[in-house]
């Protein structure tokens, strides 16, 4: 049964992530006064990419992308199986680091700039994500997802500031404006396609599928704040995930991309105020 569960998570997670991406494109198009693509367009795009030739700059350029996918899949398995959230975040960070190394390996100036901005993004959101793990431990006395979602009261009651900070930095991880610094999904990126400039074909498809996994990972972090031992709470947790993602889409379409200095400063200020203050209050009461 464990093997079946692992296979199901590996297969269905990107399918759900792709569907969410399709909904994202439709809502974004409607907000911009356009009809938008069909719901399954992300899957059509990935299938088309798999049929195209991959131009390999060097072997390491491709290798790092696939290693990044492995770590992201590993993170998904840990989270969705109720495992250690701290271990999952470390694995997710390693996946991001390998993705950056892949950008540097191409020796392209566009990829290099994109890789540097990706590192800045990691530096921006990582402190808040780590504080989220620490806050959940303080609230529920466990790093394991299965224990956190089995508590009598939702974690959001103890960690409102941490939750607000997490939603703020998820804009980085979901690659939304105003913090889409390294790999824009829109046409306003002044460094072409940033860190993905030199990727093509199957390699680019792998990057897109990796992003689908990351979407589910991001929403899972939101989910654990609302889920408890009560079955009805899981319905509210799913609704909270949908509301947060809709909020991220609206912010994405209603804001311009900021400079990296502003992104880094704003993320650290929010982490210091919302995350740290919340944990200090929680530690005293």
User: Per residue in 12-40, pLDDT tens?
Assistant: 999 999 999 999 999 999 998 888 899 99
> What does the pLDDT average to over 212-231?
96
Which pLDDT tens digit goes with each residue over 89-128?
999 999 999 999 988 888 778 888 888 989 999 999 999 9
Structural domain total, the chain: 1
96-105, 180-189, 215-224, 239-248, range with the lowest pLDDT: 180-189
pTM: predicted TM-score of the whole model, two decimal places: 0.93
Give the burial string for 28-49 (b: 16+ CB within 10 Å, else e): beeeeeeebeeeeebbebbeeb
Which pLDDT score, from 0 to 100, does residue 153 have? 93
> What does the pLDDT average to over 198-225?
93
pLDDT(88) > 60 = yes
Which pLDDT score, from 0 to 100, does residue 184 have? 63
- Among 229, 158, 240, 185, which residue's Cα sits nearest to residue 28? 185
Which pLDDT tens digit goes with each residue over 142-185?
999 999 999 999 999 999 999 999 999 999 999 898 888 877 66
Which pLDDT score, from 0 to 100, does residue 101 have? 92
pLDDT(1) > 60 = no
Q: Please state, in angstroms and rounded to a whole number, the distance separating the CA atoms of residues 128 and 132.
A: 6
Considering only residues 233 and 187, tell me which one the structure prediction assigns the higher pLDDT: 233
Coarse DSSP helix, strand, coil percentages of the chain, rounded to the nearest 5 percent: 75, 0, 25
Range of the structural domain that residue 143 is part of: 2-284
99-108, 213-222, 267-276, range with the lowest pLDDT: 99-108
Inter-residue contact 216 to 197 (CB < 8 Å): no
**Averaged pLDDT of the chain:** 90
The residues, any chain, with a CB within 8 Å of residue 262's CB and separated by 6 or more, are none
Considering only residues 275 and 185, tell me which one the structure prediction assigns the higher pLDDT: 275
DSSP annotation of 84 reads: B
- Among 114, 70, 117, which residue's Cα sits nearest to residue 95? 70
**What percent of the chain lies above the pLDDT cut of 90?**
69
Count, in order, helices (H) and strands (E) of the chain. 11, 0
């Amino acid at each position: 049964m464990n093997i079946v569960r692992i296979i199901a998570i590996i297969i269905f997670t990107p399918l759900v992530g792709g569907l969410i991406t399709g909904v994202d494109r439709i809502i974004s198009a409607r907000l911009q006064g356009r009809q938008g693509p069909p719901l399954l367009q992300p899957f059509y795009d990935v299938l088309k990419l798999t049929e195209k030739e991959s131009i390999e700059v060097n072997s390491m350029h491709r290798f790092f992308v696939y290693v990044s996918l492995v770590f992201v899949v590993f993170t998904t398995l840990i989270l969705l199986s109720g495992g250690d959230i701290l271990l999952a975040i470390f694995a997710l960070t390693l996946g991001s680091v390998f993705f950056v190394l892949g950008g540097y390996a191409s020796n392209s100036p566009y990829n290099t700039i994109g890789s540097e901005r990706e590192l800045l993004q990691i530096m921006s959101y990582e402190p808040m994500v780590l504080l989220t793990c620490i806050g959940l431990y303080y609230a529920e006395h466990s790093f394991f997802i299965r224990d956190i979602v089995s508590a009598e009261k939702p974690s959001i009651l103890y960690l409102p500031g941490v939750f607000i900070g997490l939603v703020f930095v998820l804009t980085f991880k979901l690659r939304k404006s105003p913090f889409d610094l390294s790999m824009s999904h829109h046409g306003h990126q002044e460094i072409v396609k940033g860190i993905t400039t030199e990727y093509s074909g199957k390699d680019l498809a792998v990057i897109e599928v990796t992003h689908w996994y990351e979407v589910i990972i991001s929403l899972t972090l939101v989910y654990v704040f609302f889920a408890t031992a009560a079955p009805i709470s899981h319905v509210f947790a799913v609704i909270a995930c949908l509301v947060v993602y809709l909020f991220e889409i609206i912010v994405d379409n209603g804001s311009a991309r900021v400079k990296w200095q502003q992104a880094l400063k704003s993320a650290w200020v929010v982490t210091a105020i919302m995350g740290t203050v919340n944990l200090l209050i929680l530690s005293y009461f």
